[in-house]
Structure formats: structure tokens, C-alpha cells
Amino acid sequence: MKILVSEVGPRDGLQSITSIMPLEAKKRWVEAEAAAGVTEIEVGSFVPAKLLPQLADTAELVRFARTIPGLTVAVLVPNLKGAEAAVEAGAHKITIPLSASETHSLKNVRRTHAQMLDEVKSIVTLLNGLPIDRRPKFEGGLSTAFGCTLEGVVPRDRVVALAEALMSAGCDEVGLSDTTGYANPAQVRDLVRQVRAAVGDHALTGLHLHNTRGLGLANVLAGLEVGITTFDSSLGGLGGCPFAPGASGNIVTEDLVFMLEAMGLHTGIDLQKLIEVRRIVRDALPSEDLYGFTPDAGLPLGFVQESKL
Amino acid sequence: MKILVSEVGPRDGLQSITSIMPLEAKKRWVEAEAAAGVTEIEVGSFVPAKLLPQLADTAELVRFARTIPGLTVAVLVPNLKGAEAAVEAGAHKITIPLSASETHSLKNVRRTHAQMLDEVKSIVTLLNGLPIDRRPKFEGGLSTAFGCTLEGVVPRDRVVALAEALMSAGCDEVGLSDTTGYANPAQVRDLVRQVRAAVGDHALTGLHLHNTRGLGLANVLAGLEVGITTFDSSLGGLGGCPFAPGASGNIVTEDLVFMLEAMGLHTGIDLQKLIEVRRIVRDALPSEDLYGFTPDAGLPLGFVQESKL
């Protein structure tokens, strides 16, 4: 079975650190990871440069990444203005985050659920006015779907209702994000099943998981068991130590790909080449820590990627 | 469902570091972890003190641990002589490791598979001569069951055959150990199923997993799915960084218990009290690193252990 590993390091990783990676290094990173076989990369976020100077060059990076054959170039947008910029730059996929915790939504983007859903509808209107070959895929990403550091438990029914609202508003699909690293495998199975029952299997194929409490790959396994085929991850776990303040704690692309390939699932990614991409990130960000067990431990003796046979 | 978390830090953790923990600190550790609800602890190994001076006080620690009500006191023994010492000290459970990789067995204990099975039979004869109330439970632990750093791939059929041989030789049960951190969830499910089909479900209930490549808890989840109910782990991941030379890379007890309890499985262990036990280990071994994501990240807001309700 083919699994899509969606690299989010250039967006989620870089936005979580204070160092700014030069555009040329970002280009080398995206190019090398695509050459290793990664077919979808979230290269940035269209937010005001004064809020996230790390991602101020997103438009230029999108234009560059579009020149790489076979690569789906994804970006995050917080609102209609961001979506306009994403369309202008030519992104293939745009994701708008909607926090299942309204407290978190208000704090993060100063908008209620209703206001965010209005924003989603405006974006859909924008997209529907585009010629079909310029229309990016549009995902609603439900953040804090597994719990919130401000509200605590997020009721499952609320997540299901918001997923339905996003689809009704015109999203092409929804995703579930464990923004806080609260998810456990039983909850992943349950929430995915419930949301799929409400919006249809085709409308939920992706999970964005963190490793804040060490359960990231166990949660991936739970997701696989209920039909999830797309997983976000960050090369070198960039964005940092999951327990450092402000750190994202994304699951590590290298460990994720190792697990999937070892299980006989096909990612299309060459593990050895993927691990070599770390050097580009390390050279460009010498003061940032990189994470991941597999790169340090090395591949098992005699390990052969089935997909390369 | 009740899951048995078997703490192996005082044996597998301490044997992997060069610092020697004083006996009094070991006693405090074992006592505090039992008070947190841990009901089985592997407190040491009966090997010559010149080989593992860290564990030279195992007999004294066994005698102390036996005084803790409700605690199963486990030890590792490499041979008949070790088993005699374990019986003399009063261990409730003894485990003899048998490496599925004969190369590893020869290097580790300088014995072939046939020689190790003879040793097992000698131990069974010893145990069968004991009065029933002094007879410890006897497990054959199949190490390198998921692959070997010397041989690479270890054929599944060999592991199954050795499990059958251990049971035929008189072991009460077998366990599977991912000594090298090579296991993946698909392999865990498959090997557990195959071994159980050969020796019976009752004869394989436990897994000893490492987190060397970050897949430790995903492998636990896979084990749960095929009926495994006992998991070994080490408090603070003691024994170290999985990729440092000689490090064991045991899965971390705190993260394991968090995952199980979050999933609604009952360990009987109070997570907050468990996390506090780290202080004893840290104070006694100030130069050793402790691991684990959950202790640093903290428990999720609003998290309540169902088993404590």
C-alpha cells in the first residue's frame, strides 16, 4: 500500500524556531527532499511577515517549488488574504487551520468558529472563480482535535460537527491535527472513525501528529489501522524538542518513513537519501537541534527497502 | 483490561551504564516504584560480579524486594549457577536469555543454542526438585528475536523453533526481546502470532521492546493488538540514549504507562507517583541522563487516569 508522507518542516518546523533559514537553503532543502522521493511539501504559510519573519519568503519558495516535477506544493493560510497570496504564487494545495478549541482559536487567530467558517466560505468563493487548472486543493485542518492546552478535553462531537461544517462550507477535505501532543492510539482510531462516518472516508485521509509525549508513531499506527493514508511530519523533527516552550514536536520524517517502509508500506522515499537531507538543514541552522532516532541509530543490518527491490 | 508493566531498569538499565548505584538507592527505587503501583520488577542479574559490578548486590536486593507486599521479584540468570543463586535468594521469577542469533549467543555467553538448551534443562531439574512454594516461575527470553546487529535478519521460523524448544525443555513461558531495536509493528504482530500458534497463547504473554529507532510504543500497540499483556520497560529509559555505544534503549516506563492509561487500559500504576520516582534515580546517578517525553511535557490538561476514578 502507498502512504503519502507530507513534509511540513519548512512550515511547521521553521515557524517554531527563531532562527531564519535563508531562502537559498530552503530551496536546497525542498529540492533535496523531493529528490529523495517526497511528493508533497508544505513550504510555508501566508501570514504577515511581521508575525512570522521566518516564513516571509513563502511566495518565492512556492514559485521555486512549483518547478520541481511531481511535487505537490502546499501552504498554510490563516484567512482569505493568505489564500489570495497562495493562489497568486501558484500553490497546489492550501490548508486553513480551524482550532476545535474556540479558546485556542480566539487566542491564535482572534476569531470564533463562526468567523473562521465565514473565512472558509470566502476562500471557497475565491477558488470557485478560478479556472480549473489553477484551482488549488483546499483542506480544512482541525487543530487541537485531540485536546487543548487551554481547554483540556475537546469533546469528540464538536470535532465531528466542525468537520461537517468545513465540508459544508466547501472544503475538499478535512485533516485532524494533534497540535498539543495529547492524542493516544485509542482516541485516534475512535475520532477518525467518527469523523469519517460523518463526512465520508474520502474526506478524511490525513493526520498531523506530534510526538510531545512520545506516542507519535503509535498514533500513526492507529491511524493506518483505520484507513489513514497521509501523515504530516518534519525532517529532523525541526521545530524542536517537544517540551521546549513553543516547540511543535512534529513526528520525525526519518523515523516515520523507517517505520512505514519496515512494515512493507511504500512511501516512494529513499531512506538513505532522506537522511542525507539533514545535512542541508544542519548547515543552514547550526544552532538548532535536530531529532530522530533512526538517523542516529542507523538502519538495521540487512535492512532493504521493499519498495526499492 | 489489565496490562502488566514489568520494570527492568534496576537490571537492564543499570547493567548498561558504568556508574554503580548504591544498594540503598536501589532499595529506595524499588520500594517507591512498588508504592506507585508497579507489581513486577526485575531487580538484577546473577552474573559474576567481575563481569557486572553494577549488579553485584542482586542477592541482597532480591531479599529486600521480597519483603514488599504484592511485588513479584524477577531476576535474570545466564546459567544454572545463576539460577541456584536466584533460588537461594528467593526470586519469584527467573528469566534465562536465549539469543535467537547463535552468533550473538556465542559472543554474549559463549554458548551455542544446544548448550543453552542444556542449561535450561538443568535449571528445570533444579526447579522441579524444589517445594512448590519455593519454585520460581521460569521464563525463556528469546533475545535478538527481531534481528541481530551481527547476523542481520533472524528468520522467523528459527525464533518459533527456539520458542518450542524452550517450552519442551520445561520453561513455564517464553518472551520475545527486541534487543537491537530492529522490530517494526508488522513484524511484532506476525512473530507473536506465529510463536503463539506454536506454543499456545498462555506461553507467550510478554514483550521486551527497545526504542532504538523510535518505534518502541508503536511496537507495544502492535503487541496489544495480538494479545500481549506484559511489557518490559525502564524508568527514565535508564541505560541511556538508544544510540550511544552499549546503551540498551529500553522503552520508557513513564511514556508506556501514559499511553496505556490514556487508552483506558489499566496498569494499576499512579502516573504522578511514578514520575516522582525519577528523583531517586537522578539523585543516585547524577551523571546519567534520564529519558522520556511525558515527564518533561507533563500530563495533558484535564487528564484523569480512568483506573483511579
Can you give the CATH number for the domain in which B160 is found?
A: 3.20.20.70
Tens digit of pLDDT for each residue in A14-36?
Answer: 998 889 999 999 999 999 999 99
A301 and B217 within 8 Å at the Cβ level: the answer is no
CB B217 within 8 A of CB A214: yes
CB B253 within 8 A of CB B281: no
A184 and B263 within 8 Å at the Cβ level: the answer is yes
**Cell triple for residue B41?**
520488577
What is the pLDDT at residue B240?
A: 56
Contacts of B151 in chain A (CB under 8 A): 301
Of A153, A184, A213, the CB nearest to B297: A213
Q: For residue A303, give Cα distances in angstroms to A77, B151, B279.
A: 40, 11, 39
A297 and B217 within 8 Å at the Cβ level: the answer is no
Q: Assess whether pLDDT exceeds 60 at residue A95.
A: yes
Please name the residue of chain A whose CA is at the shortest distance from the CA of residue B263: A186
B215 and A217 within 8 Å at the Cβ level: the answer is yes
- What is the dihedral sign for C-alpha A253, A256, A261, A267? negative
B213 and A294 within 8 Å at the Cβ level: the answer is yes
Tens digit of pLDDT for each residue in A101-144?
Answer: 999 999 988 999 999 999 999 999 999 999 999 999 999 999 99
Contacts of A185 in chain B (CB under 8 A): 221, 259, 263
Any idea which residues of A carry the catalytic annotation? 241
Contacts of B292 in chain A (CB under 8 A): 214
What is the pLDDT at residue A240?
A: 56
Percent helix, strand and coil across chain A, each to the nearest 5: 45, 15, 35
C-alpha span between A260 and A205 (Å, rounded): 16
CB B260 within 8 A of CB B3: yes
Residue bearing cell 544510540: B243
What is the pLDDT at residue A83?
A: 98
Q: For the ranges A236-245, A262-271, A277-286, B155-164, which has the lowest average pLDDT?
A: A236-245
Q: For the ranges A64-68, A281-285, A287-291, which has the lowest average pLDDT?
A: A287-291
Per the structure, the count of domains in chain A is 1
Q: For residue A211, give Cα distances in angstroms to A46, A154, B106, B169, B203.
A: 25, 19, 38, 43, 34
Q: Assess whether pLDDT exceeds 60 at residue A49.
A: yes
Contacts of A215 in chain B (CB under 8 A): 217, 255, 258-259, 262, 293
What is the pLDDT at residue A227?
A: 98
In chain A, pLDDT over 90 holds for what percent of residues? Answer: 92
C-alpha span between A167 and A140 (Å, rounded): 8
Q: Which residues pair with A230 in a beta bridge?
A: A4, A206
Task: Calculate ∠ Cα A106-A112-A117, nearest 5°.
Answer: 130
Please name the residue of chain A whose CA is at the shortest distance from the CA of residue B295: A213
B259 and A184 within 8 Å at the Cβ level: the answer is yes
Contacts of A189 in chain B (CB under 8 A): none
Of B184, B242, B301, the CB nearest to A152: B301
Q: Assess whether pLDDT exceeds 60 at residue A246.
A: no
The mean pLDDT of chain A is: 95
Please name the residue of chain B whose CA is at the shortest distance from the CA of residue A220: B218
Q: What is the pTM of this model?
A: 0.97
Q: Assess whether pLDDT exceeds 50 at residue A242.
A: no
- Interface A–B counts its CB contacts (< 8 A) at 124
Instruction: Return the residue in A187, A189, A301 with the most chain B beta carbons within 10 A, the one to mutate for interface testing.
Output: A301
* Regions of chain B where pLDDT drops below 50: 242-244, 246-247
> Shortest Cα distance from B9 to chain A (angstroms)?
19
Q: For residue B265, give Cα distances in angstroms to A152, B40, B257.
A: 20, 17, 9
Task: Calculate ∠ Cα B291-B51-B23, nearest 5°.
Answer: 60
Per-residue DSSP letters for B107-119?
HHHS--HHHHHHH
Confidence band for A244, pLDDT divided at 50, 70 and 90: very low
Domain that holds residue A233: 4-308
Q: Which residues pair with B5 in a beta bridge?
A: B231
- What one-character DSSP code corresponds to residue B178? -
Q: Assess whether pLDDT exceeds 60 at residue A245.
A: no
Under DSSP, is residue B142 helix (H, G, I), strand (E, B) or coil?
A: strand
C-alpha span between A19 and B154 (Å, rounded): 45
Per-residue burial over A141-172, b if 16 or more Cβ lie within 10 Å, else e, is bbbbbbbbbebbebebeebbebbebbbebebb
What is the pLDDT at residue B242?
A: 46
What is the pLDDT at residue B248?
A: 59
